[in-house]
Structure 1
C-alpha cells in the first residue's frame, strides 16, 4: 500500500487508496504505525494537492493508532505539521490546522506536551503575529489561546526555549528577499554560462522570477502589470 502513495499520479486514485488502507487498518490496527511511518517518510514536496491528501489520510490513520505505540513518531509527526502550517501554501496550512479541531489529536498533544509544545508553540505564536492571510491569522490566534489553556506553564516554557526560525524561514517575507533571490539567480546564470560554453546549442530554461514576467510582479518586485509582461521571456 505504501509504494502506491509515492507515484506522481496518486491524486487520481487517492480516494480508493484511502478506503483500501482504512479497510486494512480496520482488520489490524497494528498496521497504522507502519502506514504513518510511510506517509511521513515519502511526504510530497512542491505538490500542494498531494500534501493536502496526505494530511487528510494522516489524520484518519492517526485516530486508529494506539497512543503508546505512537510515541516514537511524535517528533516526526509534529515537525511535519509545523512545516505545513508555516509553509506558504494556504490550503496546506489550513488543512494542517484542522488537526487541532480533533479531540483525539489534542489528547496526543497534551500527553506528549514535553515534546510537542516546543515544536508547535513558537511557530503558532510567530504566525499568529505575522501570517499574511487574515482569516488564517485569526485561526492561529484562536489556536494560541487553546494551547495556552491546555498548560500555561508548558506554553510559556516552550515559548522561551523553542525557536521561531521555522516560521520565519518559511514566511513570504523571507522568500521575497530580493537580494537573496538576486544571489541565487546569479548562480543559475553562471551555471547556464558554463553549460553554454560546453554546448553552444544549450538554451537556458525560462525562469518565472524575472521582471518581465507576471509571476515576478506577484513576488513583490514592484513592476507594473502590463500586456508586455504577461508572457514569459523566450
Structure 2
C-alpha cells in the first residue's frame, strides 16, 4: 500500500492529531489512556489510535518549539514499543496498514544536504557528521520497526505485503544518512528483514548492487557503504556451495570495483572481509580476485597501496598452488614495484609478505618464476633504499631466497647484474649520441652567427 492509501486509511485521526499539535496539544483535550490501563479487548483499537497520532512529525530545527508535545509523542512511541514486545496477539492486515503508515511517516524523509567536502582533503575521521536532530523520536521508531520485524506475532505472509520492495528501496536510501546511529539501526533492521522474508532476498541483493554501482560510477560519495558491506559479509557467509553464477558475478561486478574510489579506507575492512569470504568458499576465485586487485591497483595513493597489500596477503593465504601459478607473473611484477617504492610503508608492507609461512611455501614451489621478477628490487633496496627498516627486511628476504636455492639466487643475481650493465651501457651510448647532437647544433649555430655578420660585396 502506498503513502496516499495509508493517508486515506488513517483519515481523520491524523488530521485531528495535526490540528491538535498545531493548537499546542498533541493528544487533544482528553489524552488517550495508557495501553496497560485498558481491558484486553480494547488494547488493539487504542494501539491503532496511538499509531495514528504518532504519525505526526515535528520540526526539530527549533529545540524550544512544542517541547511538551514532543515529549508526549516520545512517551507514546515508547509505549508502542512495549506493546509490540508484550506479545498481545497477531498483527492483522488492518493493523499492519496502520503500523506501516506510522513508520513511513516518520522514517521516509529527505536527508540533510551533504556538506561541501573537498574530495582531495576530506578525512572521515576528522570530520564531525551531521547528527539527526529528530533522533529522540527516530530512535524509538527504528526500535519499533526492529521489534515488529522480529516479533513472533508478525506473520511473514501478511507483513511481506507491506514490507515490500518499495519499502526496502526507501530503507536503502536512508543508509546515506550522516548519522552513524541511524545507519547502525538500518543495518540491523535490513539484516533481520533479509532473514525473515526469504521472498525478498534476491531483490535486496540486487538493490544493494545498484547502490554500489551508483556510488562507484556516478557519485563516489555514500555514507553507508561500510554498513551495507557488513550486511553482505553475513549474507555471503551463508551462501551454499557450489556458488551460483549470480554470486560470482556480484563479486566481479559489484565488490571488486569498490576498490576504485578514493574513500576506500572508510570501508576497506568490511570490503576485504567480503572478498576473502568468497575465496574461502571457492579458492578457484583467487585468480580472478587477484587480477582484479592488480587492475585497480592505486598509482599515486600510498595509503591505498598499503591496504591493497594487506588484502592481497589475506587472499594469498587462501590461494591454492594451481591458482597461484596462473597469476604469479603479473602479481610479482606489481610486488616488485612496491618493493622499491620510495614510500617506506609500501615497501615495508610488501616485504612483510615473506613473513607469512604459507606464502613463502608457494613462492618456494615457484621460485624459478618468482625470483627473477623480484631479485632486481631486492638488490636495489639492499644497495640504495633510504629506510633502515626496509633495508633490514630486504636483507632478510634475500637471505631466505639464498637458503631456499642458493644456486638459483646466484644465477639470477648475475643475470640481474648483466642486465643492469647493459642498461648502463645503453644509457651511456644514448648520452654520447645526445652530446654529439648538441655539439653539432652548437657548431652550426656558431657558423651561422659568424657568417651572418659579413656583408656581401657589390
Q: Same fold (TM over 0.5)?
A: yes
SS in 1 for 2:261: coil
Q: In 2, Cα distance between the equivalents of 1:30 and 1:103?
A: 21
Q: 2:311 aligns with which of 57, 60, 83?
A: 57
Indicate the larger mover: 88-97 or 124-133: 124-133
Residues 40 and 77 in structure 1, CA contact (< 8 A), matched pair in contact too: yes
Deviation at 1:163, TM superposition (A): 6.1
1:149 aligns with 2:403: yes
1:100 aligns with 2:379: no
Q: Corresponding residue for 1:217?
A: none
Q: In 2, Cα distance between the equivalents of 1:106 and 1:154?
A: 16
1:54–1:5 distance in 2 versus 1, CA, 3 Å: same
1:67 aligns with 2:324: no
Deviation at 1:24, TM superposition (A): 2.0
Deviation at 1:57, TM superposition (A): 0.4
Residues 86 and 123 in structure 1, CA contact (< 8 A), matched pair in contact too: yes
1:45 aligns with 2:299: yes
Q: Corresponding residue for 1:188?
A: none
TM-score by length of 1: 0.67
SS in 2 for 1:87: coil
Q: Corresponding residue for 1:82?
A: 336
Q: Which runs of 4+ in 1 moved over 4 A?
A: 163-166
Q: Corresponding residue for 2:225?
A: none
Residues 122 and 164 in structure 1, CA contact (< 8 A), matched pair in contact too: no
Q: Deviations over 1:141-182 (max 9, x none)?
A: 12211111110010001101136989xxxxxxxxxxxxxxxx
Residues 119 and 162 in structure 1, CA contact (< 8 A), matched pair in contact too: no
Residues 290 and 312 in structure 2, CA contact (< 8 A), matched pair in contact too: yes
Q: 1:120 aligns with which of 374, 390, 393?
A: 374
1:109 aligns with 2:363: yes
From the CA coordinates, give the structure whose radius of gyration is larger: 2
Q: Corresponding residue for 1:132?
A: 386
Deviation at 1:122, TM superposition (A): 2.6
Indicate the larger mover: 121-130 or 142-151: 121-130
Q: How many residues align?
A: 167
Deviation at 1:66, TM superposition (A): 1.3
1:27–1:72 distance in 2 versus 1, CA, 3 Å: closer
Q: In 1, Cα distance between the equivalents of 2:316 and 2:309?
A: 10
**Stretches of structure 2 lacking an aligned partner (at least 5 in a row):** 1-254, 421-458
Q: In 2, Cα distance between the equivalents of 1:88 and 1:163?
A: 22
1:5 aligns with 2:262: no
The one of the two structures with greater contact order (alpha-carbon pairs below 8 A, sep at least 6) is: 1
TM-score by length of 2: 0.35
Q: Corresponding residue for 2:185?
A: none
Residues 298 and 305 in structure 2, CA contact (< 8 A), matched pair in contact too: yes
Q: Corresponding residue for 1:189?
A: none
Residues 324 and 362 in structure 2, CA contact (< 8 A), matched pair in contact too: no
Residues 85 and 94 in structure 1, CA contact (< 8 A), matched pair in contact too: yes
Q: In 1, Cα distance between the equivalents of 2:413 and 2:314?
A: 30
Q: Deviations over 1:209-231 (max 9, x none)?
A: xxxxxxxxxxxxxxxxxxxxxxx
1:158 aligns with 2:412: yes
Residues 128 and 141 in structure 1, CA contact (< 8 A), matched pair in contact too: yes
Q: CA RMSD in A?
A: 1.9
Q: In 2, Cα distance between the equivalents of 1:118 and 1:35?
A: 24
Residues 382 and 391 in structure 2, CA contact (< 8 A), matched pair in contact too: yes
1:54–1:165 distance in 2 versus 1, CA, 3 Å: farther
Indicate the larger mover: 74-83 or 123-132: 123-132
Residues 118 and 158 in structure 1, CA contact (< 8 A), matched pair in contact too: yes
Q: In 2, Cα distance between the equivalents of 1:64 and 1:100?
A: 15
Deviation at 1:90, TM superposition (A): 0.7
